Amino acid sequence: MIGSSVPSIMRKLFGNEKQEVADTLDSYAFAVYSKEQLGLAPLDQSKLAEAETMFHEVVAIRKKVLGETDPKVAWALDHLGLSLELEHKLAESVSVHREALALRRKLFGNENQAVDQSLKHLAIALQDYGNAVEAETLYRESLAMERKGKWNASETLNHMGHLFSSQGRLEEAASAYREALDIRREFLGEQHPYVAILCRSLGTVLYRQHKLAEAESVFRDELSLRRKQEPVDEVQILIVLNTLAKVLREQGKSSEAELICRDDLAIREKRFPDAWDTFHTRTLLGSTLLEQKKYQEAEVFLASAYKDMLRQKDRTSEEGQFIFETLQCLMDLCEATGRPDEADKWRNVLTDLQKTEAESEHKP
């Protein structure tokens, strides 16, 4: 554990109530928080708990050594609040961020970047805690401060976009995301990973608004950006390929959707050959070919998808829907190619499977 390494040595050298010990604890605990916050692996609750304990100690030492109103106390409170939020201790996180904000206002007034940081962190904690009204008020105060100071306002606008989107305020969400995207391109450059992330958020909101042409343009931008990034994140590329294919199909652009589905499937079959999403992508490609009356090739993909899905013994309700969708496509294909008896066969399989699934759901 991290408490047994450098922090332990610092305690032996300086005792438990020295600024040097507090600084070391803060650095180590923040390193743990940052690693967990990146989400590269499942959260390690024991490490998060250890980091929280260290942050509590940093706050206590700094208050005793430096005084209750030292700027370093506010930094320690901010770090503690972030750690508590990552542990989903939201009420405690809100309380700690309120204390940090109040202290920073007292120290720096109302137009300072440290105050702006606390405004955002408190707003995020409040939003996660379910207090959207106060969160929006704080975001707006933060945004006004950033615009006045000509600071990078993209983070605040991004969070406002998330808030509006969660409330179904899609036009406001799209407006916030657009402005955030423009700012990020200006401050960070076109190739920065955060630009691609904002493209995803904006494209998703536009898709929900059924603004398909605009959504397509944004998702194509995201795809281009993600393919240029080093290292290439194929998982994120798969997500945008899947979404882009759906957007194209809803616009009746079946031939373009086919190309995207083929790209998607090629990556999935290489990386995740036995995954449900790979089988479902095969169904999507088959149904796209069916729309173009490419019946022979469509049947190959659909039959293959159904066969592989059937091999998987355990499945979720969503994965069960993938099977239903594949069977429906096979039934439609047989109808379209003048094979009513085979269509009836697939229809009976679909009916029996739906009945079995419904019965299993009602079992105690």
Among all chains, which residue has been given the structure tokens 């990386």? 271
Among all chains, which residue has been given the structure tokens 């019946």? 295
* Residue 20: CA count within 13 A, CB half-sphere: 9
The CATH fold assigned to 152-244 is 1.25.40
Tell me which CATH homologous superfamily contains domain 1-141. Answer: Tetratricopeptide repeat domain (1.25.40.10)
For residues 57 and 34, what is the distance between their CA atoms, to the nearest angstrom? 18
pLDDT tens for each residue of 167-217: 999 999 999 999 999 999 998 888 888 999 999 999 999 999 999 999 999
Q: Could you state, in order of their start, the residue ranges of all structural domains in the chain? A: 1-141, 152-244, 274-306+317-364
Q: Tokens in use for 12?
A: 């032996």
Among all chains, which residue has been given the structure tokens 């955002």? 120
pLDDT for res 11: 54
pLDDT for res 299: 97
pLDDT for res 9: 54
pLDDT tens for each residue of 320-334: 899 999 999 999 999
Q: What does the mean pLDDT of the chain come to?
A: 91
pTM of the full predicted structure? 0.86
For residues 252 and 184, what is the distance between their CA atoms, to the nearest angstrom? 33
The gap from C-alpha 344 to its chain's centroid, in whole angstroms, comes to 42
Q: Tokens in use for 90?
A: 């939201």
Q: Assign 224 a pLDDT band (cuts: 50, 70, 90).
A: very high
Which are the contacts of 263, defined by CB distance < 8 A and separation ≥ 6?
241
pLDDT for res 362: 61
User: How do the residues of the chain divide into helix, strand and coil, expressed in percent and rounded to 5?
Assistant: 80, 0, 20
Which are the contacts of 201, defined by CB distance < 8 A and separation ≥ 6?
158, 161, 162, 165, 177
Q: What percent of the chain has pLDDT over 70?
A: 93
Task: Say yes or no to pLDDT of 41 above 70.
Answer: no
The reply to whether domains 1-141 and 152-244 share a CATH topology is: yes
- Tell me the average pLDDT across 286-296: 97
Q: Give me the count of residues in the chain.
A: 364
Which are the contacts of 76, defined by CB distance < 8 A and separation ≥ 6?
22, 26, 55, 58, 59, 62
Task: Say yes or no to pLDDT of 3 above 50.
Answer: no
Name the residue among 320, 285, 281 with its Cα closest to residue 299.
285
